[in-house]
Structure 1
Amino acid sequence: MSDTQTGHDVIVVGGSYAGMAAALQLVRAHRRVLVIDGGRRRNRAAAHAHGFLGQDGVDPTAIAATARLQLEAYPTLTWHDDEAVEAGGEHDDFHVETRGGHRHRGRRLLFATGVSDTLPPVEGLAERWGISVFACPYCHGYELGRGRIGVVATGPMSIHQAQLLPEWGTVTFLLNGALELDDVNAQELAGRGVAIESTPIARIDGHADVVLADGRRLPFAGLFTAPRNGPATPVAERMGCALVETPTGTQIQTDDAKQTRLRGVYACGDAARMPHTIALAVADGAWAGAQLHRSLVWPEA
């Protein structure tokens, strides 16, 4: 394993929206920043990003590419296309090892790894994830034109999803054996005009057609589901960062300054906050970058 001879002020593990937003604050303060990124953005299947001021409707791949190009214009930024597999060390002396066999050193460490999604095991759903099956109505609801929307249940969080989505169209809640509704939930959903379908799903085909176990076909403009998610890599947890439960899975525990329970180790973006949107990830990353800079200026604060 090769060891870098020059240390960095901050190593950012994850070069998507949150990681780049953090790095931008730091390089603009003339700090030496290394970004390590494996190149698998969570929204890589989506053709358009929405709800992000100034970038509404833009291809998220183009947003990320432009951001990287702007970052790399700063002389104190180093970008390494690789995957972090291990991290360790202590305050002012951290190291990150990559799958490519490199070992990098830095005074601070930021995990901006994003999350991975565990989708419901419905035939045809994963292939349509980010295309006609979504998680966030604020990101993808408007484009459905107030058409028919199906919500594929995964657990209690799906009830909230089904209650919210009538703002964007006519909703059918597909229980698919994932949960049972009590009288209160059923009444609340009925009050929102949500239809309940208890027949299990056989598969999804076409654009967003749900084929039920009894043979009926329900066509939708789009589908929503609430996947369970957690940090996209276990590196932070293996290093000793604590995870906390969220309504949709787990995330890295941080304080208000985005520092984990390990001094000098920070986390931001989808891996360390919810809900998940590009706009919120960028904001969280910018805040983390500023807090990291402060920790370098006033290390004892």
Structure 2
Amino acid sequence: MSEKDIPGERSPTGESLTANRRTMLKGTGAAIVGATGLAATSSSAAAVSSWDIDVLEVGDSVFGVGSTPSIPVGDEVFIFVHGWFGDTTVSSQASDVADSMTDAGYEADEYVGIEWDATTINFPAAESETEDVGEELAEMLEEFYDDGGGDVRLVGHSLGGRVVLETINHIDDGYSVETVAPLGAAADGEMVCEDGGGLLDDNWYDGIAANADEVRNYHSENDSTVGAAYGGIGGAALGTDGSGCPSDTAANYTDVDVTSSVSTHLGFLGDADVGADLAAAAAGDTDDDDDNGWGWF
């Protein structure tokens, strides 16, 4: 795996089928949690390689060039969105995250990587682009659901975390993404709060509350890359500190602290604890602490 992401860090280089899958995943997730907590376990499911990732290029249609691609229809679909300078490594990043979920018993019908034009030294421009990419991905998901698609696990790393949150902000009413998971999201923590995050109502609270079954924000205090760029003095960086307002987030939003296992900004990708929690979320088996709004760890 290799990626350059955010300034300051560079790497060195229909029903029955769905019901059956949910039953299988729930049973597997319960066994994992009961026997080993969040540790990765061996699984009979095949490893997910870069070759298994269907990479879809998103963004050209925003500028009127080319058409919007279609998400392959399946009962269970994993979708990963990369961050800054992650264009060329989206398939390997996606496979790292998907494989960590597979180790915990997860299996999807389709594995998708969303590639967008994030290779630019102009970071503010890339950050701004995430809204357009999220809007296009929302249209793709609407088509997917209209065509009979099943459950979606929408995962985004760094600026990709912004993309997935923009996606549920732009998707039309009546659609709801099953699991939305920012990993080390490049954003201020107040962007997910009901009464914060920007001028007027320019934040993600309404989209989270209305257009997702569950949003799980994975953050690590060791992620100095995001922490240096967001949060400001006395504020919270979403990918480092979490929301910073656990009592002011939507009921379906959870901050998941993975500080104990994720030591760098790129460490979210393929982390066993992140994969196990995401697999449990897909199985409907997460065990969150309602008193503080945090996950298992």
Structure with larger RCO (C-alpha < 8 A, sep 6+): 1
More helix by share: 2
Q: Is TM-score (shorter-chain normalized) higher than 0.5?
A: no
The two structures have a TM-score, normalised by structure 2, of: 0.27
More strand by share: 1
The two structures have a TM-score, normalised by structure 1, of: 0.27
